[in-house]
Structure 1
Amino acid sequence: MNTCICLLRAVNVGGTGKLPMADLRALCVEAGFSDVRTYIASGNVVLRSTLPPDRVKATLERALETYMGRPVGVMVRTARELAGVLEDNPFPDAAPNRVVAVFLDAAPPADALMSVGGQRDERLALGRREIYIDYGSGMADSKLKVPASASGTARNMNTIARLVRMAGVDAG
């Protein structure tokens, strides 16, 4: 059995894509996943499956589209991969609530940071299948635009650390 962390894109954000976490858990169980747990209402699921991560993604995306009536992107990482995202954080000196990893389906292009706009004090770095962003003085007033992150979903280091703990992996 694999432990997978599923990060849903654009649910319960700014009043769009309403998805109660109880419904998400039930949907995951109906799709055949076990030991399903959610964390906060922004679409974070820790689950177990005999399927490989790419099949977990496809299965959950199909179930979500049926439920929501529209496609919902899902980024899936194994427990070990998510622990690696936390360990690879290139900004360990920054406040963990101001550093995010934007999760992508594939490795970001090598030139992904060349098209960034509106950058002020933010720092950026590429990961394996992530783009790390340190928002310096905070996200509220940031004008940062990262075109390569448009299809991804972001989680801050505090959330990632919590999901790693929920998945039962010792990071670090």
Structure 2
Amino acid sequence: MSDTAFIVLFRGVNVGGNKVARMETLRKVLGEAGFGKVATYIQSGNVVLTSVRPAAEVAAIIEKVFAETFGFSSRVTIRSADAWGRIVADNPFPQGADEPKRLHAVLLDEAPEAGAVERLRELATPTERFVLSEGVLYLFTPDGFGISKLAGAMDRVLDVPLTARNWRTVLTLLEMAGKAA
């Protein structure tokens, strides 16, 4: 069985000085846990690694090792490099690629309940657009993600485990995964 490259996203790590986890330490402990080609991108919990294990098992091991190492838990979202490539290829907002900090991929680990997406749509400004497709909410906020009421309400309205990354990060992680594969 050959190694699969995975993108692993931690939620709420190193944001605002809270839940601090040094990426150097994370790379070391994940390597010691048996994962290959461990690399991190910026300080907010983006990891690329390889494993022969299935995604669910990789996520469970990582969550356990992380909590033991840093003394707090962080839920991870995991996608294979192939799935990540489809996320990039399926981007419905190609104009957002020119403004990578205004386009986000919001990865949902569960499907939201019926009606949640429509409630979210009600919060969108006239310039904001989003499309939910196969567990990814593509969010284009030309006026800025940080001031978007829609972006700020996603957790509450969708009420499912999710994590967002701007398009620059999405593309960088795809490139890193390609090198790890």
CA distance in 1, matches of 2:84, 2:159: 18
Shift of 1:71: 2.1
Shift of 1:109: 4.5
- The amino acid across from 1:156 in the alignment is N
Change (3 A) 1:150 1:18: farther
Matching residue of 1:113: 117
CA distance in 1, matches of 2:158, 2:171: 24
- The amino acid across from 1:104 in the alignment is L
Q: Which moved more, 1:139-148 or 1:104-113?
A: 104-113
Shift of 1:23: 0.9
Matching residue of 1:143: 149
CA distance in 1, matches of 2:133, 2:5: 21
Task: Give the length in aligned residue pairs.
Answer: 169
Q: Which moved more, 1:78-87 or 1:63-72?
A: 63-72
Shift of 1:110: 5.4
Matching residue of 2:10: 8
Q: How does 1:31-46 map to 2 (within 5 A)?
A: 31-46=33-48
Shift of 1:150: 5.4
Root mean square deviation, CA, Å: 1.7
Match of 1:130 among 128, 136, 150: 136
Alpha-carbon deviations, 1:2-31, whole Å to 9, x = none?
A: 111101110011221111110110121122
Matching residue of 1:103: 107
Shift of 1:68: 2.6
Shift of 1:54: 0.9
Match of 1:92 among 82, 91, 94: 94
Alpha-carbon deviations, 1:121-141, whole Å to 9, x = none?
A: 321110211111111211232
Alpha-carbon deviations, 1:94-140, whole Å to 9, x = none?
A: 22221111112234445431121532132111021111111121123
- Is structure 2 residue 164 aligned with structure 1 residue 154? yes
- The amino acid across from 1:126 in the alignment is L
Maintained 8 Å contact 1:113/1:124: no
CA distance in 2, matches of 1:33, 1:161: 22
CA distance in 2, matches of 1:124, 1:38: 28
CA distance in 1, matches of 2:115, 2:22: 38
**2:61 alignment partner, SS class:** helix
Higher helix proportion: 2
- The amino acid across from 2:88 in the alignment is L
Shift of 1:70: 2.5
Q: Structure 2: 5+ residue runs without aligned partners?
A: none
- The amino acid across from 1:167 in the alignment is A
**1:154 alignment partner, SS class:** strand
Shift of 1:151: 2.3
Maintained 8 Å contact 1:12/1:19: yes
